[in-house]
Amino acid sequence: MRYTYLPPSETKRGVLESTSKRVRMIFSVMASPNRIDILRILNNKGPLTYSELKSLAGFKSKKESGKFAYHLRKLLRQSLVALNKGERRYTITNLGKLVLNLARQIEEKSIVESGKMYVRTSHQTIEEFNPHKIIQSLVREANMSLEQATKITEEVENKIYKLSTSYLTSRLIRDCVNNVLLEHGLEEQMNKLVRIGIPIFDLGKKFLHNDDSLRNGINDLITDVSEKVFSDYFANNFQKDILDMHYSGEVHLDAIGHWGIGADTVFVDIEQINKDLNLKGHFLFLPRTTHAHKLNITLPILVSLLQREVSREIVVENIDKIFGDDAIDKISEYFSLSLISSSVSMQYAGSPFITLVLRGNENSERLLQMLNGYLSYIEQVSLPNFGLFITFANSLSNDMLSLLTKIIKLGGRISLSQKSVRSSKGIHKMHQDMGLPIVALHSLSINLPRLAYQSNKDETYFRTKLALLMRPSVSTLLLKKEILLENIRQDILPALSNTIGFPRVGSTSIIVNLTGLDESVHDILGFSKDMGFDIVKKVVKTANDVLLDFGQHNTDKFGVSIINDSSSTRFVDLDSEKFGKLTHDFKSYSQGLVITKKMFDDEDSLSKNLIELDNLMAGGLYVKLLTSDISPQEMVELLQKSIHVIPYFDVFEENRICSICGTRVVSSDVCSVCGSRNIVTFN
C-alpha cells in the first residue's frame, strides 16, 4: 500500500481551504430569509415534523412544497438542522443556533448603522420601526377596525418621527399610541393597550431604601411587584361599576392583587389529600407518593402547593392522621419537624396563614404530644405562620390549659371552639359534616358607617341601603367564583384542582363581610347599648334576607360575616375625606368582637348575646380574647371561663420581636440579646 506524503504546510493549507469553503457555504445559507426563518422557528418551537415546520415557515400551498424542500436540504447539508430519523422530527443543531445568533447580530447592526428608526423590543432584540405592527396591535388588542387603526397609526407615526430620542422602545411606542387614543376619547381602547407594572422610581426605592420592609429579601420584592402588576391587570379588566364602588369606599375588595386569581380561604381534610393526591404532570420537583404520611411530608407538600393559590388561610383538618401508626412518644418530635419543614417551604411574606384543626375530645395523650410539638416549633421561630384550632365538646383539663397558656405566652397562635370548625379569623366552615374541600370566598366588605352617615340617622333607611348594596356585593363574589373556575379550566391553579380536587369535589361558600357595625348602630345612628343589640340583629337579618333569595337559585352556601380584613382603616380614611371632620374620632372601624377579662363580670349576658349573634352570622364572627398583661395563672382561669361562655375565640397576645436579630421580646423596650430598641409589635 502506498502513502502520499504531504508537508505540514500543505496539510495546513488544505484544512484552511476546506474551512474557508465551509464558511462560504454557511454564509450562502444565511443569505436566504426563508432559511433563517426555519432556523428561528426550530429554535423557538423545538423539534417539529416536516409538515409542522413547513406550515409554520409559511409554505402552505402545494406549489411551494419544492421550494421548502430545497431550503431544508440546504440546512441539513451544512449541519445547521438535524433529522431524528426515529421520531421523524427536525431540530436545530448547536451550529445552527450559532449561525442564527450571528444573523441576528448582523441584522441589528445593519439597522443601527443605516440611520433608520429602530426599536429595542420587549423580546430583547433590535428591529426596524414598522408602523404596520401598530395597526395589527390596535386591531388585535383593541378590537378596532382596520380603517380606524390606520388613521391612529398615522398620527402615532408623525409623533414618533418628531421625537429626538436616540432609540425607540416598545414601551415608548405603546405610550405614544395610548396618548393618541386618549386625545380621540378612546379610553376603553386605551385601557386594553395600557402597559401594567411598577414605576421605575418606586422599584428603585425598594432596592435603595429597604427600611426593613423586605424581611424576606428578594422574595418579598418579587411578591410586592407581582401584586402591583396583578392589581393593575385586575383594574383594567374588571367591571367598572364594581371598581367604582371599591374606589369610592362603599365596598372593599380585599387583597386586590390576588382577587381575580385564587381562593380566599380553603378547608381541606388531610385524609382526603392522602387518598386523592394526584399531581399529574405538575410540580415535578415534589414527591409523587400517595402515602405521604409514612414520610411525614404531607403538610410540607400541601403548603408548597397551595400557598400561591390561596390568599388568606388554609385550614387543615384531621392533621393527626399524618402520623399514621407512629408511636405516641414520637409524635411530638415528628410534628415539630413537620411544621419546621413546612415553614421552610414557604417562599414569600404573603403566604396564607395555616390553621391546623385538633380535636380536644379525642385521644388526650396524642393531643398533648402534638401541643408539645407545636411548642417546640414556637420556640424555634420568631413569627409563626401556623396556628392551632382546637375544638372540644366539653371542657379541657388544667394541664392542657397550662400548656396552651405557655404556648400563647411564647407567641403561639391558638383558637378554641365549641364543636364547629372555622378559620382562625372566624370564617365558618359552612358544610360542617363534609370531609370534602370547601372554598370560602369572602374578600368583599361593605362599609356600614358610610351607609349610616347617608341615612340621616334613620334606621329603616339604613337597612334599606344595606339591602340594596348586598345584591351587587353577592353578585361580585359570584363573579369571583366564575373567575376562579375559569382559572382552574385554564390550568392556572393546578394545586386546587389536582391536590384537593376542586371543583370536581367540594363546595363553595359565598360570604359578605360587614365592617363597622358597632359604630354604625351606636355612634352614628345613636342607639344606646341596651337598644343597640336589637338593632344589630335587625341589620344582620336584613342582610340574611337578601342572601336567602340568592340561596334559592344556587347550590352555594351564602352567609354574612364580621371578620378582620384590611378594609377597616381604609374605610375610615375615605369617609374622613368624604364627610370632612367626623363627629366621632374613629381610627378604625370595628371588625368582630374584643373580649377582655373585665367583661366576664356579667357572664350570662355576654354568653347570650354572643351565641345569638354567632347564630346570625352564618359566614363567621371573629371573636378576640385579649390576654396581654395578665399572669399565666390568670390566663388559665380566663381560658377555663371562656370555653364555657364563648362559642369560639382567637386568643390574642401581642407578639413583640426585635427587627435586628429576631429575638422575641417579652416586656422591655430593649432587646436582651443585641440591645436594639427596634422592637416591632405584631398583632
CATH number (domain holding residue 32): 1.10.10.10
| pLDDT band of 251, cuts 50, 70, 90 | very high
The pLDDT tens digits for 327-349 are 788 889 889 988 998 888 776 66
Checking if the pLDDT of 647 tops 50, the result is yes
DSSP 323: G
| Contact in structure between 357 and 391 (CB atoms under 8 Å) | yes
Q: How far apart are CA 245 and CA 266, in angstroms?
A: 27
Checking if the pLDDT of 214 tops 60, the result is no
Q: How far apart are CA 372 and CA 358, in angstroms?
A: 13
Quote the number of domains for the chain.
3
Q: Cβ neighbours of residue 49 under 8 Å, at least 6 residues apart? A: 88, 89, 90
Residue 165 lies in a domain: yes
| pLDDT band of 289, cuts 50, 70, 90 | low
Q: Which of 168, 195, 222 is the last residue before a domain boundary?
A: 195
Checking if the pLDDT of 546 tops 70, the result is yes
Distances (CA, A) of 88 to 47, 51, 93, 606: 9, 11, 15, 78
Mean of the pLDDT values across residues 220-244?
82
- Look over the chain and give the mean of its residue pLDDT values, rounded to a whole number: 83
DSSP 457: T
Residue 73 lies in a domain: yes
Examine the domain organization and report whether 128 and 186 are in the same domain. yes
Q: Which of 78, 111, 144 is the last residue before a domain boundary?
A: 111
| pLDDT band of 170, cuts 50, 70, 90 | confident
Examine the domain organization and report whether 105 and 47 are in the same domain. yes
Checking if the pLDDT of 440 tops 60, the result is yes
Mean of the pLDDT values across residues 381-385?
87
Of 144, 196, 119, 166, give the one whose Cα is nearest residue 153: 144
**pLDDT value at position 292?**
46
Checking if the pLDDT of 19 tops 70, the result is no
**pLDDT value at position 291?**
55
Residue 586 lies in a domain: no
Binning the chain into helix, strand and coil, the percentages to the nearest 5 are: 55, 15, 30
Global pTM?
0.77
| Contact in structure between 236 and 187 (CB atoms under 8 Å) | no
Checking if the pLDDT of 542 tops 80, the result is yes
Checking if the pLDDT of 373 tops 90, the result is yes
Checking if the pLDDT of 2 tops 50, the result is no
| Contact in structure between 56 and 98 (CB atoms under 8 Å) | no
Examine the domain organization and report whether 46 and 100 are in the same domain. yes
The pLDDT tens digits for 65-80 are 888 888 898 888 888 8
Q: How far apart are CA 370 and CA 408, in angstroms?
A: 15
Residue 556 lies in a domain: no
Checking if the pLDDT of 382 tops 70, the result is yes
Distances (CA, A) of 45 to 126, 331, 338: 21, 51, 42
Q: Which of 175, 195, 215 is the last residue before a domain boundary?
A: 195
The pLDDT tens digits for 416-438 are 998 889 999 999 998 876 678 99
Checking if the pLDDT of 574 tops 90, the result is no
**pLDDT value at position 510?**
96
Mean of the pLDDT values across residues 638-660?
85
Distances (CA, A) of 435 to 72, 269, 506, 511: 59, 6, 9, 20
**pLDDT value at position 15?**
46
Q: What is the span of the domain harbouring residue 672?
A: 653-683
Checking if the pLDDT of 112 tops 60, the result is no
| pLDDT band of 109, cuts 50, 70, 90 | low
